[in-house]
Structure 1
C-alpha cells in the first residue's frame, strides 16, 4: 500500500512538532516517519554546527505531484 499525500503530511507535521506517535501505523508509514525524523535531526545538527537557528516550516498547501 502506498502512503497518501495526507498521510505523509500528517507524519511530517507530527515529526516537526516533536509529537509522539499515537497508536500503531503501517510498516510503510513507520519507515517514512523514520526517514523524516532522520532528515530533520541531521538538518538540526548542521544548523547547530553553523550557529544557526533551526525551524521546520511546512507550507500550507501540498503541491500537485504528477
Structure 2
C-alpha cells in the first residue's frame, strides 16, 4: 500500500508563548484521510487547527494591535 502525503498548514501556540504561530508542512495521512502529525512536531505546541494545503494568513490575533501602535506613533 502506498503512503499518501498531504501538505497542511498547522496553526498552533508554543507552550512557552501566547503568540499564534503557523507552519506549512507535509505529513502522511491514514486510511481515513486524517493527517498523522509526528510526535516531534507536536512537542511543545498546542495545535489549534490543521488546514488543507498552504494557507496565506493575512492577519492574526495581536497583529492589528502592533500595527495600530506603529501607525499611531508616525
Give me the TM-score of the superposition, normalised by structure 2: 0.27
Larger radius of gyration: 2
Higher strand share: 2
